[in-house]
């Protein structure tokens, strides 16, 4: 689950969330009625077979039924919560993190960063606390309940976002790292069956400004953080001791605000999003800095704003998905991230989303990493998707929906005549389908009557072969 930024694009309450289901080939993309607006701060957790358990926007926790979980309100309490939570919390990329409790399979620890406003000597936003909350999904008739909430574990000036986690060498416990605020401190927490505690604070490398993205390599051997002003800070990581080592600073050519970084599934290649450029670095190269390869240049696409390159996340299908700094309705994809150079097959605006989303790509550590065994490679962090279809793939159709507001009807028009049938579904605010019509092959223009639909705000999905081509809002002004 990730979210839609209503404040940036409309005056309607934010109730839409985007759900990507990787149990389906190709992954299905649908919207869900979430009853909460999800902005920068967010996290999602599913069970071992991909069933949604709960998610959060940094202010509230919702269960699998998309309703407020028992005791799931008032997360990150205080002035900022009261001001921001109508639109979603903005404590930075990776300011929320959900990890399974090593001592109880029904429980999950939710780590979340708290921010405050400072007004003197000048206005600033400061991250001052790492809280944890504990959720038991077996309670409340399976809907879950928050049994501990807003428990402070670190109370120090910290960087904006950048909570990253990796499995301990024992394959059960977790290391969690948060950098300090504009210094070279790294706060290292351990989550075990005994609970969570701050183990040590390490000073290493140079100071770096707040913000950006941080990640561990899937094999747990590397840790990296990046922002557009300071470049890459790369370290080796010891999964047994939780210590960083072998600091390297790699400058990145970036004049914008976008700053994403992640590793390929095999941990060999590091990808860096620098707003208008996408770079690849080879961790096996004798000189990592000299291994820089430019694998993508922004093509200027706008939908509706600039779709430049921002945060990156390795997904269960072994592809890397990249969002944009602006509020847009597409994602970019690196289809073959384990391949060197242009063979990584980077495709811009490859995924069409049903709504604009507000920089809310969730962070997922490598939940599949097992114990450290010398001489053995770790299990893969994901499963590559290989299509066995031999028929010609569907064309990348574009669809247009108008007029909007709809005076008793609306039209769906494609750039080309359909080669295969499609369908249009119209949903009400509760996510219930109120209209569903087939679109026959051979035509490019379709008229749909909504004269019998009550006036109001609806959401539509235009699908071809089950894949979403176009989604959005539709106001019906002529009806009951």
| This prediction's pTM | 0.80
| Shared-domain flag, residues 352 and 406 | no
Residue 107 bridge partners (DSSP) = 136
Residue 404 DSSP symbol: S
Residues 46 and 146 in one domain: yes
250 close to 232: Cβ distance less than 8 angstroms: yes
- In-domain check, residue 389: no
Per the DSSP assignment, residues forming a β-bridge with 313 are: 321
Q: How far apart are CA 44 and CA 366, in angstroms?
A: 14
Instruction: Specify whether the CB–CB gap between 61 and 72 falls below 8 A.
Output: yes
Bond into 304 cis (ω within 30) = yes
pLDDT number for residue 361: 87
Strands 320-322 and 328-334 turn out to be antiparallel
> pLDDT averaged over consecutive 10-residue blocks of the chain (480 residues)?
46 56 78 78 91 94 94 97 89 95 97 96 94 98 97 97 97 98 97 97 94 96 95 97 98 83 98 95 97 94 89 95 90 96 94 79 94 90 65 59 87 84 84 86 89 88 81 77
- The CATH number covering residue 459 comes to 2.60.40.3080
Beta bridge partners of 123: none
Does 271 share its domain with 153?
yes
- Last residue in a domain, options 357, 375, 408: 357
Same domain, 302 and 450: no
**Where does a domain end: 290, 325, 357?**
357
Could you tell me how far CA 362 lies from the centroid of its own chain? Answer: 2
Rounded CA-CA distance 334/346 in Å is 4
Give the pair of three-digit tokens for residue 113. 């960063």
Give, in order, the Cα–Cα distances in Å from 405 to each of 401, 410, 450, 477: 10, 9, 11, 6
| 407 lies in the same domain as 345 | no
Residues 182 and 303 in one domain: yes
The CB-side HSE value for 174 (13 A sphere, CA atoms) comes to: 26
Per the omega criterion (within 30 degrees of 0), is the bond before 405 cis?
yes
Of 53, 92, 99, 100, the closest CA to residue 76 belongs to 92
CATH of the domain at 196: 2.130.10
The verdict on residue 378 lying in a domain is no
The total domain count for the chain is: 2
183 within a domain of the structure (yes/no): yes
- Asked if residue 189 and residue 297 are part of one domain, the reply reads yes
Within 10 Å of residue 75's Cβ, how many Cβ atoms?
A: 24
Q: What is the pLDDT of residue 395?
A: 47
Tell me, yes or no, whether 312 lies in a domain. yes
Cα 133 to its chain centre, rounded Å, is 20
Same domain? 116 vs 203: yes
CB atoms within 10 A of CB 379: 11
Same structural domain for residues 405 and 315?
Answer: no
Q: Which of 43, 41, 34, 2 is nearest to 16 (CA)?
A: 34
Based on the domain organization, do 96 and 194 belong to the same domain? yes
Which residue among 357, 387, 422 closes a domain? 357
Q: What is the pLDDT of residue 258?
A: 78
Contact assessment for residue 64 and residue 74, using Cβ atoms and an 8 Å cutoff: no
State whether 83 and 169 are in the same domain: yes
Structure token digits, residue 24: 């389906």
> What's the rounded Cα separation, in Å, for the pair 23 and 317?
9
Q: In terms of residue numbers, what domain contains 419?
A: 399-476
pLDDT for 432? 78
* pLDDT given for residue 360 in this prediction: 80
Cβ neighbourhood burial of 278 (10 Å; 0-12, 13-18, 19+): buried
Do 449 and 311 share a domain, yes or no? no
Instruction: Tokens for 211, please give them.
Output: 């913000």
Q: Report if residue 364 sits inside a domain.
A: no
């Amino acid at each position: 689950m990730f979210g839609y930024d209503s404040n940036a694009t409309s005056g309607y309450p934010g109730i839409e969330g985007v759900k990507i289901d990787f149990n389906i080939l190709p992954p299905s993309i649908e919207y869900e009625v979430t009853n909460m607006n999800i902005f920068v701060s967010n996290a999602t957790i599913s069970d071992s077979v991909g069933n949604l358990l709960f998610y959060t926007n940094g202010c509230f926790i919702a269960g699998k039924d998309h309703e407020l979980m028992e005791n799931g309100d008032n997360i990150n309490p205080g002035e900022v919560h009261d001001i921001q939570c109508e639109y979603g919390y903005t404590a930075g990329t990776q300011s929320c993190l959900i990890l399974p409790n090593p001592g109880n399979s029904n429980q999950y620890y939710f780590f979340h960063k708290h921010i405050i406003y400072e007004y003197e000597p000048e206005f600033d936003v400061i991250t001052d606390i790492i809280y944890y909350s504990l959720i038991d999904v077996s309670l409340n008739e399976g809907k879950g309940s928050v049994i501990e909430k807003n428990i402070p574990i670190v109370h120090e000036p910290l960087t904006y976002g950048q909570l990253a986690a990796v499995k301990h060498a024992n394959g059960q416990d977790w290391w969690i790292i948060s950098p300090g605020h504009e210094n070279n401190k790294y706060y290292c927490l351990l989550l075990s069956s005994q609970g969570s505690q701050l183990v040590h604070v390490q000073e290493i490398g140079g100071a770096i400004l707040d913000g950006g993205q941080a990640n561990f390599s899937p094999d747990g051997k590397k840790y990296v953080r990046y922002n557009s002003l300071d470049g890459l800070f790369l370290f080796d990581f010891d999964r047994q001791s939780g210590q960083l080592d072998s600091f390297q600073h790699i400058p990145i050519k970036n004049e914008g605000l976008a700053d994403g970084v992640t590793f390929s599934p095999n941990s060999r290649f590091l990808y860096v999003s620098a707003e208008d450029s996408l770079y690849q670095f080879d961790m096996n190269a004798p000189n990592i800095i000299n291994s820089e390869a430019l694998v993508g240049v922004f093509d200027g696409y706008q939908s509706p704003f600039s779709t430049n390159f921002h945060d990156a996340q390795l997904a269960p299908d072994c592809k890397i998905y990249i969002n944009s700094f602006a509020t847009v309705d597409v994602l970019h994809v690196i289809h073959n991230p384990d391949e060197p150079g242009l063979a990584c097959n980077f495709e811009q605006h490859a995924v069409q989303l049903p709504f604009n989303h507000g920089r809310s790509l969730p962070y997922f550590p490598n939940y599949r990493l097992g114990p450290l065994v010398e001489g053995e490679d770790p299990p893969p962090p994901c499963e590559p998707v290989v299509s066995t279809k031999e028929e010609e793939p569907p064309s990348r159709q574009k669809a247009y929906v108008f007029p909007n507001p709809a005076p008793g009807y609306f039209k769906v028009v494609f750039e080309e005549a359909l080669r295969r049938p499609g369908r249009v579904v119209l949903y009400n605010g509760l996510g219930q389908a109120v209209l569903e019509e087939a679109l026959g092959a051979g035509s490019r223009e379709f008229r749909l009557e909504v004269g019998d639909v009550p006036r109001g705000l609806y959401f539509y999905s235009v699908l071809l072969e089950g894949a979403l081509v176009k989604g959005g809002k539709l106001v019906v002004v002529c009806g009951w």
